[in-house]
Structure 1
Amino acid sequence: MRKQKLTTMTAFAALLMLAACNQDEGPEEMNPNPQPDSGEEDSATQEGESMTSYISINDAVERFNEVFPDASMTGLKYDAQSMNYEIDGIDDDSEYELIIDVETQEEVSQETDALDQEDAGGVEREREAIDTEGLIEPNEAVQTAHDEIDGAMRSWELERDDNRTYYEVKIEIDQDEHEVKIDAQSGEIIEIDRD
């Protein structure tokens, strides 16, 4: 079980790293998440201005695995307003949450809650754990949402419900929030909720 979890998380981390590397440059609200510092200096850095270094999705997931080594991931969220990654997980007895500030790369909070008796023993884990094999990249989900709704991306979230893994991308237009649900395996739009 531990080997399967490690293989799954490694595959997902590789997928997320690829997603971070393939993102186009552009306005912050168009990017699924901020770019990590590449280590190369740009013209602004050469002129004496500091360049912000962001934690990558891959590093955030790796940090979650270090803090909660026996947990399976049940959700991953990037919030553009708070500039946080929120990673949720579960094992046979507890559920976990780790929030990491994207800019400072510091842990904002961590939480552990015991599962109810009816959800313990792997029952809830079986229902909620995300199988990351074959999933589309976060930036592809965000682009699909932007193709439907042109506005400022506020967050994206990877979650699982009723044996279906999907991205939920929230886009804001004139202070109205719209949600686009995208199948994380096929890339097809499941639902669009326009407020």
Structure 2
Amino acid sequence: MKTINLKKFAIAGAALIGLGTAAITTVNKNTEPTTVQAASSKIKVSQSTAVKKFRAKYPSAKIDSINLEKENGRYVYEIEGFTSTREYDMRINASTGKVISAHSEAKKNRNKKAINLSKVISRSTATKIAQKKVPDSKAIEWSLDRDGSRTVWEVTVSKSGKKSEVKINALTKKVISVERD
């Protein structure tokens, strides 16, 4: 009789441990994406919409960089472009789509090259690649720019309060480098 009660107690205990582990795993699986999506939820304006605003204001400009960074508690796109004689810069609130500033000046750098936006990987794809390289991290800043002859995404990710910058070839998806703080 004691053996049967002991077996029942052992089985019940194992079941409780199993359920507890499953519950904790479920909680962790449900909370991690929320953390990663927290940055994304503040970014309501797509990169293509921001580019359209830039092109509406500067139709002849070729884009040579796109940055998405947190500034004063909000995410802001900064898009830079150029023509043969001028350089352009526009900052757009990534939550509202409102143009924060637009600036134009005489071109200083004659060696600028445009980014072919139809051939580069998306910010979302670059984020996934960076987060795969630094597991359990959260993407917090993005930059699409020229690096010599290459077009690269620089994705800054944060994990446990430490930042890493993952540089990715924007055409081939190949990780070029990972710099950790």
TM-score (ref. length: structure 1) = 0.67
Match of 2:77 among 85, 102, 125: 85
| Structure 1 CA distance for aligned equivalents of residues 131 and 59 of structure 2 | 35
Q: Match of 2:128, SS?
A: helix
1:11-61 Cα deviation digits (max 9, x unpaired): xxxxxxxxxxxxxxx43645884488xxxxxxxxxxxxxxxxx32222111
| Structure 2 CA distance for aligned equivalents of residues 171 and 130 of structure 1 | 23
1:123-172 Cα deviation digits (max 9, x unpaired): 33xx3211224222211111010011132211111111211001000012
Taking only aligned residues, the RMSD between alpha carbons, in angstroms, comes to: 2.2
What is the match of residue 27 of structure 1?
34
Larger radius of gyration: 2
Task: Give 1:111 deviation, angstroms.
Answer: 1.6
| Structure 1 CA distance for aligned equivalents of residues 38 and 123 of structure 2 | 10
Task: Give 1:115 deviation, angstroms.
Answer: 1.7
Higher relative contact order (CA 8 A, sep 6+): 1
| Structure 2 CA distance for aligned equivalents of residues 28 and 98 of structure 1 | 29
Unaligned runs of 5+ in 1: 1-25, 37-53
Tell me whether 1:55 sits opposite 2:45 in the alignment. yes
| Structure 1 CA distance for aligned equivalents of residues 121 and 161 of structure 2 | 29
TM-score (ref. length: structure 2) = 0.72
Indicate the structure with greater strand content: 2
1:161-192 Cα deviation digits (max 9, x unpaired): 21100100001233332100000011010010
Unaligned runs of 5+ in 2: 1-32
What is the match of residue 13 of structure 1?
none
Equivalent runs, 1:24-173 vs 2, <5 Å: 26-27=33-34, 29-30=36-37, 33-34=40-41, 54-80=44-70, 82-116=74-108, 119=109, 123-124=110-111, 127-149=112-134, 150-173=136-159
Q: Match of 1:103, SS?
A: coil
Identity rate, percent = 26
Tell me whether 1:175 sits opposite 2:161 in the alignment. yes
Is the 2:42–2:95 contact (alpha carbons within 8 Å) kept by the matching residues of 1?
no
Name the amino acid aligned to 1:107: V
